[in-house]
Amino acid sequence: MPVSDWEVVDGHHLHRVFRFPDFMTALAFVNRIGAAAEEQNHHPDLLLTWGKVEVSIFTHTINGISGKDHALAAMIDSLYAVTQQQ
């Protein structure tokens, strides 16, 4: 069940790049992801650069993609939609 706009890389993890107009907006998004990840106890790999956040998600215990990964990706998509409306 792929999540819209996410790429499945080597059948191992989900990956998506999010774009922003500046560093601070991207940083705020990373902080929102961090809070949501803590609540879910499922933590993505995040790369923050100026105007861009790259997110990779996989389940370490199975070394691949699980339903938890899809749920976190959908949550991150929701956070991004809110960010774009502000």
Give the start-to-end residue ranges of the domains of the chain.
7-85
52-57 β-sheet, strand order? 7-9, 13-19, 52-57, 45-49
The CATH superfamily label for domain 7-85 reads Transcriptional coactivator/pterin dehydratase (3.30.1360.20)
- Answer yes or no: are the C-beta atoms of 63 and 21 closer than 8 Å: no
Work out whether the CA dihedral 66, 10, 54, 5 comes out positive or negative: negative
User: What digits encode the pLDDT tens for the residues 51-81?
Assistant: 999 999 998 888 889 999 999 999 999 999 8
Query: pTM value?
Result: 0.90
The pLDDT-based confidence of 48 (bands split at 50, 70, 90) is very high
Report helix, strand or coil for 31: helix
Q: CB-hemisphere CA count at 13 Å for 3?
A: 22
